Structure 1
């Protein structure tokens, strides 16, 4: 069905005239001049093929046909106003279904352990969590929000940088007891094993480098172990398989527990970005705004 917005606009003007009792007062109420109100009513009369108002020098009144038409459309106008009010309330109320797109690193290590806390906070909200290698068709799959590590996807919707987390070089105490503790990046070439992780965007292992103020050292690690997800990387590192580069955001708990040790801390200035993807912020639904606030809270 094709919607005629001009028809609805004319009905709104007609309703204002009935309520105000004159074209002039109706114009004042809705921000139009008296001639503009008169023209809008004339177009409406022509559009529906009836005369709506009896006009005289002193007053206006509804014709019989006009009264019948007005009585029929007033409930519809009220329904539109009610629908607008309900929609506006939904924008400020956290409810409904939230579809979230995340990469495995953020989903498994940062969000999932805290997700029940978010659900408890908003009992009228349900969540669908999609763990994906790539953001994919955000709009076509009707996603509400995505949170992903890595450089911003140029083809995605609006992106917001949430965090730059440090890249930390780590190994388990058991590994270090056997192979020794490197004191400089070049020490990793002396009998150490490194664990690499594949970049899903390129299919190649993530490159290593070491950074400190004013200095960057590229590094090509010797490796016999390549994994394709963060779980494998962390598990192999804790299992003494070698030295790994982990993101501080998800590694902080295992670092605090002593299961892995932060190596070369003076060379830990490299960072990796975390982005949120969503639609226009001006019309952001309450459920998306609430989720992003929650994410900012748990990564703080």
Structure 2
């Protein structure tokens, strides 16, 4: 197939409409008329043979095919933008809007306290964080995704950020009142703070690992949370025992507000990965953010070990 320059133009208009949500706002961004934008989208749809938008008088939404096209085309546009920047001799400039789909635990417990450092380091970056655990379509509308757990999406570039311990902890207040469990089986006599798995809607099971062996322990508790900051605050206040990723807990462990328990059974480690779709020439803003979150992840892990 010979290259059609109009296809590239159409993709640029498509990106503006997807971003703006309607033809009128896209036209303002591009300096075109709404009818000109509409014709460009119609030509693009005819060129590739699928309908990209569902239209209404007030807004447009991406069709299923449009979502797929958007996910594949945006990295290519970003690569062209980066190539143009490099050609202009400004490859070191980190700028533009960066959309990150990120695990809520890492976002709140590790990234958020360090955001002033990143924003000060890169004053031309506009950062948009989307806090979610879900993996389905996690790259839709995002330049980068950050998720705990093993990588399972072969079509994306994957970068491992860290391995963190899974620890069981309590506050000195709780341990003074109820005593410290000596073995995982002792937890049946204690109050657990339960954390809801967003994928299943049920609390995460509690596992313990020792010398290469893993086993699950049934725990009970009257409080179930889905926000890590709530879980940590409740644990510090003495509501119950909490099992958590160690990353992000460094400050509370360091000042003694949280105390690791059952440490002989805390051999489990959990990975954190970053994903991005660009196989060649990822934008400078993507490289800068990936380097930064790995930097702070390593620092936090060292603090919580």
TM class by smaller structure: 0.5 to 0.7
Distance 1:277 1:172 in 2: 35
Q: Deviations over 1:264-292 (max 9, x none)?
A: 11111111221101123432111111111
Distance 1:193 1:187 in 2: 11
Distance 2:190 2:210 in 1: 22
Deviation at 1:155, TM superposition (A): 7.8
Distance 1:172 1:85 in 2: 54
What's 1:122 paired with?
122
RMSD over aligned Cα, in angstroms? Answer: 2.2
What's 1:55 paired with?
none
Summarize the alignment of residues 32-51 of structure 1 with structure 2, pairs less than 5 Å apart.
none
Q: Deviations over 1:6-63 (max 9, x none)?
A: xxxxxxxxxxxxxxxxxxxxxxxxxxxxxxxxxxxxxxxxxxxxxxxxxxxxxxxxxx
CA 1:281–1:84: 2 relative to 1, 3 Å: closer
Q: Deviations over 1:204-240 (max 9, x none)?
A: 2111111111322211112222111212211211111
What's 1:187 paired with?
186
TM-score relative to the length of structure 2: 0.66
Answer with 164-173 or 195-204: which moved more: 195-204
Distance 2:203 2:155 in 1: 24
Contact 1:193 1:242 in 2 (8 A): yes
TM-score relative to the length of structure 1: 0.67
Unpaired runs of at least 5, structure 2: 6-81, 299-305
CA 1:213–1:84: 2 relative to 1, 3 Å: closer
Q: Which of 191, 206, 227 is equivalent to 1:229?
A: 227
Distance 1:246 1:215 in 2: 19
Whose radius of gyration is greater, 1 or 2? Answer: 1
What's 1:209 paired with?
207
Summarize the alignment of residues 11-22 of structure 1 with structure 2, pairs less than 5 Å apart.
none
Contact 1:102 1:135 in 2 (8 A): no
Contact 1:138 1:157 in 2 (8 A): no
Deviation at 1:257, TM superposition (A): 1.0
Contact 2:103 2:133 in 1 (8 A): yes
Unpaired runs of at least 5, structure 1: 6-82
What's 2:280 paired with?
282
Distance 1:210 1:162 in 2: 23
Q: Which of 256, 259, 279 is equivalent to 1:261?
A: 259
Deviation at 1:3, TM superposition (A): 4.7
CA 1:85–1:273: 2 relative to 1, 3 Å: closer
Aligned length: 220
Distance 2:84 2:154 in 1: 34
